[in-house]
Amino acid sequence: MRNSRTRIKLFVSYVLLVVISIICLYPAVWIVVSAFRPGGSIYSPHFLPERFTTEHFSALFNDKSFVFGRWYRNTLKIAIYSTIFGTLGTTMVAYVLSRFRFKARRTALSTILVLTMFPNFMSLVAVFLLFYQFNLLDTHTALILVYSCGAPIGGTFIVKGFFDTIPRSLEESAHIDGASHMTVFTRIMLPLCKPILIYTSLMIFTGAWVDFVLARFLLRSREQWTVAVGLWDLATNFRTANFTMFAAGCVLVALPITILFMMMQRFIVEGLTSGANKG
C-alpha cells in the first residue's frame, strides 16, 4: 500500500514538473523560432514557420536605422569591466568579513543584509544626481561604477560562506612561514575559491549584460546605448517595429549567457553548495 502511494506521489510530481517546464520553456522556444520566421510579425497560427530564414540576424547589423553592433560592443565592454571590478571587490569584502574580527564587523554585515532588501531602482535619483555632479551622465563609466560597487551587496554573504569553509590552519601555516595577508589572499585563498569566483563572476556579468533600468536612465545618446535599451526602442517604436528582428536580437543576447552557464555549470553548483554551508 505504501509503495503504491509512493509511486502515485512520484508520478504526480513528475507530471507537475513536466507541465511547469513546458510553461517556462514555451515562450523562450517561441522567441527562438520567431527569430527565424519570415516577415515582421511574431504571431503565427503555426508554431513552426513554413521556411526558416536568417535575414533578421543580418539585418540587425546591416540596417542603418539602428546600430546593433555598436550596442553589442558597448554591452560587452560594460559587462566585462563590471565583472572584473565587481568580482574583485566582492571577494575582498567577503574575505575581510570572514577572516578578520573588528568592532564594526557586525554592523557591516547587518548593513549589507539590510541593503539587499531594497530594490536597485530606489537609488536612481541619488545615482543620477551624483553622476550629474561628476559629469558622468551618458558614459559607460557610470554604469561600470554602479554595477561594480553594487556587486558586494548582493554577493558578499555567499562568498563569505565559502571562505568560512576553508580551514584557518592554512592561513596560520602561511603566516608562520612569513606570508603577509595579501600573500595569503592571492596565493592561497583565491586558488581555493575558484568555484565561487566563477559563480560570482557569472552573476555580475549576467546582471550587467541584461540590465535595462539603469542603462535606460543613465545613457541618453543612441551611440552609447546597450543592447537592452536598443531592443526596447526597436520593439516600442511603432514606425519601425519589427518583432521578428527583436526576437533575433533576444537570441543574440541570450546566446553568450547560455554558453557560459553550460560551460561553467559544474563550478556554479559547487560554488553555491559550498557557499551555503556556513553563514
CATH of the domain at 243: 1.10.3720.10
Return the pLDDT at 237: 72
Q: Are residues 41 and 150 in the same domain?
A: no
Q: What is the pLDDT of residues 241-279, one digit of tens each?
A: 677 888 888 888 888 888 888 887 776 666 555 544 444
Grouping H, G, I as helix, E, B as strand and the rest as coil, residue 119 is: coil
Q: Which three cell numbers stand for residue 186?
A: 592571492
Exposure letters 246-266 (e unless 16+ CB within 10 A, then b): bbbbbbbbeebeeebeeebee
Q: What is d(CA 153, CA 105) in angstroms, rounded to the nearest whole number?
A: 15
Tens of pLDDT, residue by residue over 78-131, are 999 999 999 999 999 998 888 888 888 888 888 888 888 877 777 888 888 989
Residue 152 scores a pLDDT above 90: no
Among residues 35, 56, 77, which one ends one of the domains? 56
Where a domain ends, among 12, 35, 56? 56
Identify the pLDDT of residue 238. 54
Range of the domain at 26: 2-56
Q: Are residues 219 and 175 in the same domain?
A: yes
Could you give the number of structural domains in the chain?
2
How far, in Å, CA of 193 to CA of 140, rounded? Answer: 30
pLDDT in tens, 29-51: 888 888 888 876 666 667 777 77
Q: Judge if 35 and 119 occupy the same domain.
A: no
Which residues are within 8 A (CB) of 68 and not within 5 positions of it... i.e. 6 or more apart?
60, 61, 227, 230, 249
Indicate the pTM of the whole model: 0.83
- Whether 137 and 192 map to the same domain: the answer is yes
pLDDT of residue 59: 83
Q: 64 with 76, same domain? A: yes
Residues 33 and 66 in one domain: no
Tell me which of 11, 41, 56 is where a domain ends.
56
Question: In this structure, are 47 and 156 located in the same domain?
Answer: no
Residue 210 one-letter amino acid? V
71/93 Cα distance (integer angstroms): 32
**Are 123 and 87 part of one and the same domain?**
yes
Q: Identify the band that residue 240 occupies on the pLDDT scale cut at 50, 70 and 90.
A: low
Judge if 52 and 63 occupy the same domain: no
On whether both 12 and 89 belong to a single domain, the answer is no
142 vs 195 pLDDT, higher one: 142
C-alpha 264: how far from chain center: 14
On whether both 112 and 195 belong to a single domain, the answer is: yes
Same domain for 198 and 133, yes or no, is yes
